[in-house]
A and B are shown apart, each in its own frame.
Chain A
Amino acid sequence: SQQGEEDPQALSIQEGENATMNCSYKTSINNLQWYRQNSGRGLVHLILIRSNEREKHSGRLRVTLDTSKKSSSLLITASRAADTASYFCATENQAGTALIFGKGTTLSVSS
């Protein structure tokens, strides 16, 4: 079953604007990761946030985690055309042997 569900499914913005994507999950987690996938390519790891962290930054990325609401958000500030991609959140399965991905948010940034 799907663990993470991203929202919205698709997002279109202009360059320079901020993009916010949300992820909800069902069971307790040790950590949550965000990945990016450019069209037709593999996934690239963006950031990992642990269950005892509330916020984490990496460059133009800001991730928050609210374990009480079982949700996370990814904020990309000052977006660029090169940020156009699909973004997935992922959590670990119970056994810690696999990542469970949501369906992703497709971000389109136009110049």
Chain B
Amino acid sequence: NAGVMQNPRHLVRRRGQEARLRCSPMKGHSHVYWYRQLPEEGLKFMVYLQKENIIDESGMPKERFSAEFPKEGPSILRIQQVVRGDSAAYFCASSPVPGLAGIEQFFGPGTRLTVL
């Protein structure tokens, strides 16, 4: 049973370009969470999605960032017009049940975004 898959593992973009980060949850998991980790920091929650629904996007910046989890295919975190401050590691996690309810989250290896 493959774990959470993220691609690309490393992404380099110039300021003003778009970044698309993909996450395939574990088989049987329909709940996806995106987190961002700045250097020397812990992970910060961005958004929680179920298939075709955004459940909680309270951690998502209001502009330039969007996320989706379509009925078919991976979850996508999209960052438009990237700036240097977007450089970070972006992690996706999945769970088999709604919300957390004391259930562990399974994390992917992350995508390291570098904005030049």
B96 sits at the interface (CB 8 A): no
Is the beta-carbon distance between B109 and A31 smaller than 8 angstroms? no
B12 sits at the interface (CB 8 A): no
Given the complex, which residues of A lie within 8 Å of B48, measured CB to CB? 97-98
Is the beta-carbon distance between A101 and B100 smaller than 8 angstroms? no
Given the complex, which residues of A lie within 8 Å of B106, measured CB to CB? 45
A45-B99 contact, Cβ under 8 Å, with A88-B43, A102-B42, A104-B42: no
**Chain B interface extent, by class:** 20 to 34
B39-93 contacts to A, CB under 8 A, are: 40-45, 48, 55-56, 58-59, 91, 93
A98-B56 contact, Cβ under 8 Å, with A43-B91, A48-B102: yes
A96 sits at the interface (CB 8 A): yes
A41 sits at the interface (CB 8 A): yes
Is the beta-carbon distance between A50 and B110 smaller than 8 angstroms? no
Min distance, Cβ B113 to any Cβ of chain A, angstroms: 14
A97-B42 contact, Cβ under 8 Å, with A41-B109, A42-B108, A43-B91: no
Q: How far is the CA of A97 from the CA of B53 in the complex (A)?
A: 13
A6 and chain B: residue at smallest CB distance: B42
Is the beta-carbon distance between B91 and A97 smaller than 8 angstroms? no
